[in-house]
Chains A and B, each alone.
Chain A
Amino acid sequence: MTTAIIGKPLSRVDGRQKVTGQATYAAEFDQPNQAYAAVVRSTVAAGRIASIETAESEQAPGIIAVLTHHNAPKLAYAPHKGFTDPVVGERLHVLQDDRVNHQGQPVALVVADTLEQAGHAATLVRVTYAPETGTTDVTRVEPVLPTQQKTDQGSTQPPETRRGDHEKALAGAEVNVDETYVIPRENHNPIEMHATIAAWEGDHLTLWDKSQWVHGVADEIGAVFGIPAENIHVVSPFVGGAFGSALRTWPHVTLAALGARAAGRPVKLMLSRREMYYGVGYRPHTVQRVALGASRDGRLTAILHDGYEETSNYEEFSEALLSASQFLHSCPNVFTRHRIAPMNVHTPTYMRAPGEASGVFALEAAMDELAVALNIDPVELRLRNEPEQDEFKNLPFSSRSTRECYRLAAGRFGWDRRSPEPRSMRDGRLLIGWGMATATYPMNFAPASAMARLLPDGTAEVASAASDMGPGTWTSMTQVAAEALGLPIEQVKFSLGDSRLPKTPPHGGSMTMASVGSAVQAACRKAREDALARGGANDLAAAMRRIGQAVEATADSAPGDASKRFSMHSFGAVFTEVAVDPDLGETRVRRIVGAYGAGRIVNPKTARSQCVGGMIGGIGMALMEHSIVDARNGRVPNANFAEYAVPVHADAPPVMDVIFAEEHDPHVNPLGVKGLGEIAMVGVAPAITNAIFHATGKRIRELPVTPDKLL
């Protein structure tokens, strides 16, 4: 018996909890006798702590402990590299020495009976610094090649890749484009600030934490404190947005645990909005040169993509900035070079569509410039360079629906009514522009485990340690489980976000449905088969009644060798319409149509919601988001929600169409899914800036496109 539940546009199973305030986020797990912590942060970017006076702070009302590098316990900081940690470098050690590496670095921790007392006493800690000349101006730092290193946890980005002879091909090209594109630092800015409540019982620690990876938190804090990860229980059932900021275990989690140990009480540490810009990562500032060579009939002959991005001076963060240029379009001569710019900043991290969102912006903006230079329609240019296989890996694509995505999205958009000349479309005094870009993101699949337990009453409990930071994991996993069990969805209860549940990879990189979904499906099928066999019946309900006790199964999922035989990616096409006020420079997005070939769509309703979120995120990236770094000292003056603009409802266009190209890909994973969270963000920003060029004739190569750039 198979009930088709996968593919149904079901509403979120946790929706009512969320909108009625019943969903409990990290900071809301208040514990009996809980104390509160506040962090004192450095106000220089580089140097040493010359002196730190805590006497006044210690005498403030309600103070339990003031920890600095003088009195904080020396922590184990055992070697540890999690999946989401940079391969090269060492994490920031908190309160272990007098070294200051970045603005906002924790230099003291104050624990008090109340939040107000802790915050007040933190201002009474007097710190003086012996400042050093740090590197805080991204425009003046000399980029360097990253250290090449491979570990079990992953590998660095290759510093250089090449096929063919790009220099010769660029020199001999009939038409050339050679431009540099700049994307400033952006912060994730989830609505829920990071928070941790830590409670010790002997050498056992419970952490209620905002996390996209509960096992990552347990492993890391275990290494930091030198205790077995099994002693650490991490609870994170609801996450109020994260976009990657909760993939790593940041220093504040260690601080919360340190504070709780010093206080001998549970301690809550919640970051302020301003603190969110000094210690939970960000999308790094990138500078990318893209040079394209093409024949006059629009065939790419050369791609050079040379990019660098900021990182800290204690860890080499690198992301897949250049990988799309290696296979997205057909081209015989391709060269990529990846460099890093180490600075006195805290380490950047993965932010929605890490690498691809930035790299594809540069590539697809350059493709638009080439289309203009060739006087060829931008869609037609891409069709002329559609590859038959992955020319970088020399492997066939497991599936690739770019042509279908162009057709579907262009059709829905009405692209054939576009007048190609810039400034040729108007609405009253407003200039109208239509632009498009291609999107891609890899299919990621990492080992995961899940448990399914059938109960005598015919219901089931299914669990895996995954997270749901907003995409709808609770709901989609319940659907997968219900279908595999052959039960109505109401009879299946799914649990996640707890390190006592079966292990999963980080909830990022659009790999959760492929990885965890496959494990859930396998565990549920196994439980059902076991139950039917033991109960000796064809009907599950009858079998369970007969067995009279729970039937439990666990299963692991792991990628096979498909990645040796296939290149596996999602693809998509994004079309946008913008209106630009030519006098005032304001750009508003009026329409976005995106078509995606992302394998099987488990829940079209939450999937559409994912894509709409990605589109709005892309509007932010294109038009307003920018963590402004003061080049003089590395501070972020706009570290708040008034001066760091993210899109608001009024910025969301009235038309956001999401189309899924039908794909049946048997190679990627048992469920045939490719993931959706990241690709929804890719391609939106270049589609918008390409539309702005079409509207105004102005090519803006540095994001965000604020009014001043269009005057």
Chain B
Amino acid sequence: MHPFILERPRDLEAALALRAQAGRNDAPVEYIAGGTDMVQLLQEYARRPERLVSLAGLLDNRIEVGPQGLRLGGGATMAEVAAHPGVIEQFPVISEALLESASPQVRNQATMGGNLLQRTRCPYFRDVGYEACNKRAPGSGCAAIGGENRWHAVLGTSDNCIAAHPSDLAVALVALDAEVEIRGVGGQRTVPLADLHRLPGDTPHFETILEPGEVITAITVPANPAARRSHYLKVRDRASFEFAVVSAAGAIEMDGSRIRQARVALGGVGTKPWRVPQVEAALAGASLDSTALQQAAALAAEGAQGRGHNDFKIELMQRAIVRAVETAARA
């Protein structure tokens, strides 16, 4: 890896100040929290910071479940959140999404904030042997388009980037209207998780709306009767320790035999965690029969664009929605 200085500031304020001096993207100063993704990027030379600012011990790691909903400190680990009784009981889709992610060793180390901000698994982004990657080297092109793109997104893509967002947690959270608390040198703000990540458009190297130096300090999830009946479904080539080929988060509130409200989001198919409000609208008031579910799920394909190897995801994601909703409803 490139040589860097590891900064271990005494408090968050000092950390924010250190990072804020640097620019927005490909910054010479980067944060590291759990490090499960950052260390890979450093080892592969995909990131080359001059200074690495450690957030270890500086972030809130509390997990609170109350009448208002759920609050997760940005420094809480995946393992802690997945095993929290309140999360398991009231927000099963979050616990399931975490347990379907990575391995126990990674989950012990990785944090909530880091999970949301992990970089894409697009192999062309991570292999610096490829010159073309608009995320890594803006304007250099996209090696995935016209290349091997079974891993890539079919929703939210542009002619400049088709990289899929890798987080399972974010898919579950976006389905439940989560918000993120952000702190920077200028103070604190709260934004919907749905707005945290940007579409690639012409600037795929700008992945989030975070300003230089800003840190995710907490994630909040409002109380919602649908959250209790929720399920995370992940389809992949092997049984564990693999990013999603396609995934679906479903949360359902029933009214007798009909769906009162549904929350549905997709993973593995979008350039960001992909909520499908048109599917949710079609599910509201629907019964659980398979035709109704399939008709609603088909709406997810609106605007989807395959690039060859990933064409199958357009069909598979609809089936994943049906299964996730069915399973959630039975819970």
Interface residues of A (CB under 8 A from B): 41, 43, 61, 103-104, 116-117, 119-120, 123, 272, 274, 583-586, 588, 623-624, 628, 630, 632, 635, 637-640, 642-643, 645-651, 704, 706-708, 711
Contact A584 B235 (CB under 8 A): yes
Whether B251 sits at the interface, judged by CB under 8 Å, is: no
Contact A119 B238 (CB under 8 A): no
Contact B315 A637 (CB under 8 A): no
Contact A624 B237 (CB under 8 A): yes
Contact B237 A707 (CB under 8 A): yes
Contact B121 A651 (CB under 8 A): no
Quick one: which of A274, A583, A651, A704 contacts B240, CB cutoff 8 A?
A651
Contact B240 A630 (CB under 8 A): no
Quick one: which of A119, A642, A708 contacts B121, CB cutoff 8 A?
A642
Instruction: List residues of chain B with CB within 8 A of the CB of A638.
Output: 123, 148
Instruction: List residues of chain A with CB within 8 A of the CB of B243.
Output: 642
Whether B232 sits at the interface, judged by CB under 8 Å, is: no
Top 6 closest pairs, chain A to chain B, by CB: A650-B239, A637-B123, A650-B240, A708-B312, A624-B237, A43-B129
Instruction: List residues of chain A with CB within 8 A of the CB of B44.
Output: 274
**Among B24-32, B76-84, B270-278, B319-327, the stretch in contact with A:** B319-327
Cα(A119)–Cα(B45), bound, Å:
10
Instruction: List residues of chain B with CB within 8 A of the CB of A647.
Output: 238
Cα(A61)–Cα(B127), bound, Å:
25
Contact B124 A637 (CB under 8 A): yes
Contact A120 B1 (CB under 8 A): yes
Extra 13 A-B pairs, beta carbons < 8 Å, given A645-B238, A708-B245: A43-B129, A104-B129, A120-B2, A630-B147, A630-B148, A632-B146, A637-B124, A643-B121, A646-B238, A648-B241, A707-B235, A707-B316, A711-B315
Which residues of B294-325 have CB atoms within 8 Å of chain A's CB atoms? Answer: 312, 315-316, 319-320, 322-323
Instruction: List residues of chain A with CB within 8 A of the CB of B43.
Output: 272
Instruction: List residues of chain B with CB within 8 A of the CB of A639.
Output: 127
Contact A583 B238 (CB under 8 A): no
Contact A635 B237 (CB under 8 A): no
30 contacts between A and B (CB under 8 A): A43-B130, A61-B3, A116-B1, A117-B3, A120-B1, A272-B43, A583-B323, A584-B235, A584-B319, A584-B320, A585-B316, A588-B239, A623-B238, A624-B237, A628-B148, A630-B148, A637-B127, A637-B130, A639-B127, A645-B237, A645-B242, A650-B238, A650-B239, A650-B240, A651-B240, A707-B316, A708-B150, A711-B312, A711-B315, A711-B319
Smallest distance from the beta carbon of A39 to chain B beta carbons, Å? Answer: 13
Quick one: which of B123, B316, B322 contacts A711, CB cutoff 8 A?
B316
Instruction: List residues of chain A with CB within 8 A of the CB of B45.
Output: 123
* Beta-carbon nearest neighbor of B316 in chain A: A711
Cα(A61)–Cα(B2), bound, Å:
12
Chain B residues touching A, majority SS: loop
Quick one: which of B147, B235, B241, B316 contacts A637, CB cutoff 8 A?
B147
Whether B151 sits at the interface, judged by CB under 8 Å, is: yes
Cα(A648)–Cα(B43), bound, Å:
24
Cα(A707)–Cα(B148), bound, Å:
17
Which residues of B90-140 have CB atoms within 8 Å of chain A's CB atoms? Answer: 121, 123-124, 126-127, 129-131
Quick one: which of A116, A628, A635, A649 contacts B3, CB cutoff 8 A?
A116
Cα(A276)–Cα(B131), bound, Å:
21
Instruction: List residues of chain B with CB within 8 A of the CB of A585.
Output: 235, 316
Interface residues of B (CB under 8 A from A): 1-3, 43-45, 121, 123-124, 126-127, 129-131, 146-148, 150-151, 235-243, 245, 312, 315-316, 319-320, 322-323
Instruction: List residues of chain B with CB within 8 A of the CB of A116.
Output: 1, 3
Instruction: List residues of chain B with CB within 8 A of the CB of A117.
Output: 3
Instruction: List residues of chain B with CB within 8 A of the CB of A583.
Output: 319, 322-323
Smallest distance from the beta carbon of A603 to chain B beta carbons, Å? Answer: 30
Instruction: List residues of chain A with CB within 8 A of the CB of B130.
Output: 43, 635, 637
Instruction: List residues of chain A with CB within 8 A of the CB of B131.
Output: 43
Contact A635 B129 (CB under 8 A): yes
Known contacts A583-B322, A643-B151, A649 near B240 by CB under 8 Å: yes
Cα(A651)–Cα(B240), bound, Å:
8
Contact A632 B237 (CB under 8 A): no
* Beta-carbon nearest neighbor of A646 in chain B: B238
* Beta-carbon nearest neighbor of B123 in chain A: A637
Contact B323 A584 (CB under 8 A): yes
Cα(A645)–Cα(B316), bound, Å:
20
Contact B240 A707 (CB under 8 A): no
Instruction: List residues of chain B with CB within 8 A of the CB of A584.
Output: 235, 316, 319-320, 323
Instruction: List residues of chain A with CB within 8 A of the CB of B2.
Output: 120, 123
Cα(A643)–Cα(B235), bound, Å:
14
Instruction: List residues of chain A with CB within 8 A of the CB of B3.
Output: 61, 116-117, 120
* Beta-carbon nearest neighbor of B313 in chain A: A708
Cα(A709)–Cα(B241), bound, Å:
21
Cα(A116)–Cα(B43), bound, Å:
10
Instruction: List residues of chain A with CB within 8 A of the CB of B322.
Output: 583
Cα(A689)–Cα(B1), bound, Å:
42
* Beta-carbon nearest neighbor of B146 in chain A: A632
Instruction: List residues of chain B with CB within 8 A of the CB of A272.
Output: 43
Cα(A707)–Cα(B2), bound, Å:
39
Cα(A648)–Cα(B316), bound, Å:
24
Instruction: List residues of chain B with CB within 8 A of the CB of A103.
Output: 129
Instruction: List residues of chain A with CB within 8 A of the CB of B238.
Output: 623-624, 645-648, 650-651
Smallest distance from the beta carbon of A92 to chain B beta carbons, Å? Answer: 18
Instruction: List residues of chain A with CB within 8 A of the CB of B240.
Output: 648-651
Cα(A632)–Cα(B129), bound, Å:
13
Instruction: List residues of chain A with CB within 8 A of the CB of B124.
Output: 637
Instruction: List residues of chain A with CB within 8 A of the CB of B316.
Output: 584-585, 707-708, 711
Cα(A624)–Cα(B236), bound, Å:
10
Cα(A524)–Cα(B245), bound, Å:
56
Instruction: List residues of chain A with CB within 8 A of the CB of B245.
Output: 706-708
Cα(A41)–Cα(B236), bound, Å:
32
Instruction: List residues of chain B with CB within 8 A of the CB of A642.
Output: 121, 242-243
Cα(A630)–Cα(B148), bound, Å:
7
Smallest distance from the beta carbon of A625 to chain B beta carbons, Å? Answer: 9
Most A Cβ at <10 Å: residue of B147, B238, B319:
B238
* Beta-carbon nearest neighbor of B127 in chain A: A637
Cα(A103)–Cα(B130), bound, Å:
11
Instruction: List residues of chain A with CB within 8 A of the CB of B123.
Output: 637-638, 640, 643
